[in-house]
Chains A and B, each alone.
Chain A
C-alpha cells in the first residue's frame, strides 16, 4: 500500500481520464500503484492501454510494491505555465519499477540537490478528488 495524502488541495488542472486510465488513478486513490500485465504473453506495459501492445489480448492489473529507483531526472528551474511557474525548483524524474515499467513522476520531500540517478524512492499519492489520485515519489524510508 502507498500513502494517500489529502492535506494539499489539487491545483494541477482538470483531469479527465478515459475508462482504462481512470482505473490507474482510482487505484492510486485507494493506496495502490498498479501497472498492466498480460496473462496471455507475460508483457508488462505502462501507460495502461485497453489491449496488450504485444499480443492484443486484454491485460490484467498487478499491484506493484510501490518501490522504485531514479533512472534519470532533472531539476526544473523555469516553467512557463501555472501552477508550475510558481513551483521551481522541483524534480521531475523517470522511475524504474522492479516489476518492469518506467514512470514519470516528481520526487518530493527532499532537497532537490540531493536527488541522484539510482536513488531508491517510494510512491505516494496526492488526492485529486474523491475518486482519483496522482502517484508521486519520495526517498525510500529504508
Chain B
C-alpha cells in the first residue's frame, strides 16, 4: 500500500476575464472541475491548502465553509505567488504519514475585475500616514515593477544581459499562448515588438510584465494507492522544497540571485534528478527577469548565462526545455498568485494532454514559484513515473 504522494485531479476556473465570479467562486469552480477530472467527491477531501492573501484575509475559512469541508489537515501559509510550492512539502508529509487521505489545493482571485490593470505600477494608498518598513520604500515611488527592474538592471550590469534577451522570454511564452484558446493575449510577438512597447521601469517594457487577470486553479493530492483506480494517470511528486532570502525589496541581499539556488538543490536531491533530466519547466514569469533568474538559479545554465541560454531558443516549442506551455502569466493568466497554476499545467503536460503545446516524451516537469519580490522561491519536481 503505497502512501507516496500523487496528483490526481486538476481544474481551472474561468479566465482571464470572469466578472461573474468573485474569488470564492473561482475556488469553488476550479475545485468542482478538479473533482470531476479525477472522479473524487468533496466528501473524500480531508485536507485543504489555500493561501491567505492580505487582500482576502479570510478566504481560506470562507472557502472551507462554502465547500462544506471539515479538513483534518490545513495549511494557509502565505509566501505570495509561491504559496502552493511552500505548502506542498507539508502536504506530502501529511499524505505519507496518514494525516490526510486527499488534500485539495485551491486558489482563486478576481484581481482584474476588482483592481483593474494598474496593479504593477500602483502602490499603497496610505490614508492615515505611512509607518513601518514601507517608510523606506513608498516615499520614493516604489512599485512592484520597479522592484523587479532593480534586479534586472543589476543583472545587466554584472553579466552583460541585454534587453533583447529578456524580450525573447516574452516572445517564447507568447508563442505558447497562441496555442491556448483561453489565453489573454494570443497574437504572435517579436523581440522588436517587446522592445517597442512602452517602457514601464527601465529595463522592463510593458511586454516584459505579466498580464493582470481573473482566474483560479485547484489540484488534488492523494496516495499512490488511492490514485490507481481514479480517472486520470496519477502524477508523482518527486521533490518539493522552498527557500527565502528577504521580504521587502530593500532587504534583498543579492539583486541578481534568488533563493531558488537553495530550493532547487534540495528538490533535485529529493527527486534524484539533475537539471538536464527535466523535460519542461513551468516558471513564475511575473516579469521576464523573474524567469531569467529562476533559470539560472535552478541550474539550467550558469549564473549570468541566462541571456545567452534564452537566445538559443531552448524555452520555445520544440526546444530542449519548453517553458510555460500554457502562455504563462506574461500572456495568459495572472490573478495574483500563480503557484497553483504552475502545478496544473505541469500535470497537464505529464499526462500528455497538452494538445498543440504538448512537450514530446514529457516525463519530468519542474515548477518554480516566486513569491513576494523575488523573495520566496519554491521548487516542485513532478514525474510521469515514480523513479
Contacts and interface: CB of A to CB of B under 8 A. Distances in A.
Contacts of B250: 47, 94, 102-104
Interface string B89-129: 00000000000000000000000000000100111011111
| Interface range for A | 35 or more
Contact of B201 (A12, A75, A102): A75
Contacts of B142: 92, 104
B88 to A, nearest CB: 30
A86 B145 CA distance: 17
Interface residues of B, number: 41
A15 B136 CA distance: 11
B197 to A, nearest CB: 11
Contact of B125 (A17, A73, A81, A87): A81
Given A92-B146, A103-B136, A134-B139, A78 B131 contact: no
A16 B131 CA distance: 5
A19 to B, nearest CB: 11
Given A80-B122, A104-B140, A134-B139, A18 B131 contact: yes
A74 to B, nearest CB: 4
B154 A72 contact: yes
B132 interface: yes
Contact of B150 (A17, A73, A78): A73
Nearest to B117: A80
B202 interface: yes
22 contacts: A13-B126, A14-B128, A15-B129, A47-B136, A71-B255, A72-B151, A72-B157, A73-B153, A74-B152, A74-B201, A74-B203, A76-B143, A76-B146, A77-B200, A78-B121, A81-B122, A94-B150, A104-B137, A104-B250, A106-B140, A117-B153, A134-B139
